[in-house]
Amino acid sequence: MSYSYTSSGDDIYAESFRIIREEADLSRFSPALEPIAVRMIHGCGQTDLASDIEASEGCVEAARRALHIGAPILCDVSMVATGIPRRRLPHNNPIICTLHEAGIRDAAAAHGLTRCAQAVDLWASYSDGAVVAIGNAPTALYRLLELLDDEKIPDPAAIIGIPVGFVGAAESKQALADWCAAHPGRTEYLTVHGRRGGSAIVVSALNALATPSEKAF
């Protein structure tokens, strides 16, 4: 049996982005943020995601500037780290996930933290001017905000904070927006309010920030 379907990656991408721009309300996004939002919608297949996307005014510029000078990308989980196509990165940026470092499980148990939250404590050596990508654990985002608030970790250039789930996800993302509003000039952010989130959306945002190309890769 044979099937008739579009087999060109570039054609699939082009038609997908055309459909998104036709169906989604993107009118409130700046010219810089609009293509990022399109890619995030493409990553989840839900055009109504547009209504939940929020970013600080300087997020796109700050994240792209950081990536283009070789800043590391700090990831909460392996799904985010392994989902980033290296060849899209502009400067062979290091991709760092500390979740599986030795001692994390024991330290998390001792401190009453999740492993994802405990792993954020190891970011202090890398976070200065970095791009943070949190796509799974609300606890990791909360821990990052705690460390930033206590000035125990250098400020990243931008936080793509889009954890997913039913417990703490929506609240942690609102906390991110509120913290950044209360501390102007320290870091920029991109998030999706509500329960939705996850590694696919975070990686889609990173891909769009790393390169403006809407071609298949």
Domains located in the chain, CATH noted:
51-210 (3.40.50.10230)
pLDDT digits 0-9 by tens, 80-125: 999 998 998 999 999 999 999 999 999 999 999 999 999 999 999 9
Q: For residue 208, what pLDDT is reported?
A: 95
Q: Distance (Å, rounded) from C-alpha 79 to C-alpha 97? A: 10
pLDDT exceeds cutoff 70 at 216: no
What lies within 8 Å, CB to CB, of 99 at 6+ separation is 76, 77, 78, 115, 116, 119
Q: Does residue 111 have an active-site annotation?
A: no
Q: For residue 211, what pLDDT is reported?
A: 87
Q: Distance (Å, rounded) from C-alpha 95 to C-alpha 79? A: 12
Predicted TM-score of the model (pTM)? 0.96
Order of strands, edge to edge, in the sheet holding 158-161? 53-55, 188-192, 158-161, 131-134, 73-75, 95-97
pLDDT digits 0-9 by tens, 170-184: 999 999 999 999 999
Map residue 155 onto helix, strand or coil. Answer: coil
